[in-house]
A and B are shown apart, each in its own frame.
Chain A
Amino acid sequence: MATKEKSLAHEEPVTPAPEHHHATNTGLSNEKLAMWAFLGSECLLFGALISTYFLYRGRSLSGPTTEDIYDIPYTSVSSFVLLMSSLTMVLALAAIQRGDYRRLRVWLLATALLGASFIAGQVYEFTSFIREGLTIKTNLFGSSFFVLTGFHGVHVTLGIVMLLSLWNLSLRGSLTQERSEVVEIAGLYWHFVDVVWIVIFTVVYLIPT
């Protein structure tokens, strides 16, 4: 028995690294756990909106439809911009984890700018659709399209606010390497928004009615 205890004492320590260990029942950060639970519930929210779009597509009796108004090359560029913002976000996380605060701010700002470009593109797209006679009240397609993409746009906008808040905290020196998890959690939200757009881009824009 004593020999066994001695041999265990020489094995690798089972306590995780300080930055990964949390004094909780799960050994995980409650904030991170809460964000993942929130994202799981967001699957249900966007699932409902995407299902409603599926239910209503091709059933409009009047007004413009997908074939009349979609500009696929334009939306493809927007999708590419949002996809690349996920790269800059993950590079921001890598920067703070190694204590490179200057690059953290550069990547956070780049992510916010790419997100803002996506939103500007969406505002332009909505405006052009309205000019062509498609509003939220025109037909079933208009209602489900604007609600789905509008909800996604609101999520992206909230993400931009989060990113700019982090950038401001970093400028004031409040965002240190020890608090890198804050950036990781904001990043989870941002990547989720990107993942939702991957689905929307395919099922709403690319798959014909």
Chain B
Amino acid sequence: MTQPTLEGVDHPAQDQEAQVEHGAHPTEAKYVKVALVLALLTAVEVGLFYTNFSEAATNAALIGLAAIKFVMVVAYFMHLKFDNKLLRRLFITGFVLASFVYVGYLLTLGVFLP
């Protein structure tokens, strides 16, 4: 029995999508710029830790900054911004599922209640 392959079989839609969604990666200069922004955001986070703003505002800012750093690493260093849609969906599905499951779990147990 021969192994099925795609050679000689037309899958124009898939091929087109693979090509369209697999764009060029950023340049090295871009990577360095992203790293500098990440370092700066980390410095801001640490600075916020030592400020005397309201706890709720500080926590919201810290979570926001962490979310920006998360997205920057995933989008630029992991190339998810430039890669195939299917890869993006796979990761986002896992991440969203985890977020909903555990936030729901913690809410059920009253963790975020005063």
Q: Do A and B bind each other?
A: yes
Residue numbers of A with Cβ under 8 A of B are 14-16, 20-21, 23-28, 32-33, 36-37, 39-44, 46-48, 50-51, 54-55, 72-73, 76, 79-80, 83-84, 86-87, 89-91, 93-94, 97, 184, 187-188, 191-192, 194-195, 198-199, 201-203, 206-208
Give A14 Cβ to nearest chain B Cβ, in Å: 5
The answer to whether B16 and A43 have CB atoms under 8 Å apart is no
In the assembled complex, the Cα of A46 lies from the Cα of B98 at a distance in Å of 9
The answer to whether B98 and A44 have CB atoms under 8 Å apart is yes
Q: Is there a chain A Cβ closer than 8 Å to B109's Cβ?
A: yes
A87-B18 contact in complex given A14-B12, A36-B91, A80-B39, C-beta closer than 8 Å: no
Interface size class of B (residues with CB under 8 A): 35 or more
Our count of residue pairs bridging A and B at CB distance below 8 angstroms stands at 153
Given contacts A15-B15, A26-B84, A198-B69, 16 further A-B contacts (CB under 8 A): A16-B19, A20-B19, A28-B84, A36-B87, A36-B90, A40-B91, A40-B93, A47-B101, A51-B106, A72-B49, A80-B39, A84-B35, A87-B31, A90-B77, A187-B78, A201-B66
The answer to whether A191 and B73 have CB atoms under 8 Å apart is yes
The answer to whether A89 and B77 have CB atoms under 8 Å apart is yes
The answer to whether A39 and B94 have CB atoms under 8 Å apart is yes
Main DSSP-derived SS at the B contact region: helix
A27-B94 contact in complex given A80-B42, A199-B70, C-beta closer than 8 Å: no
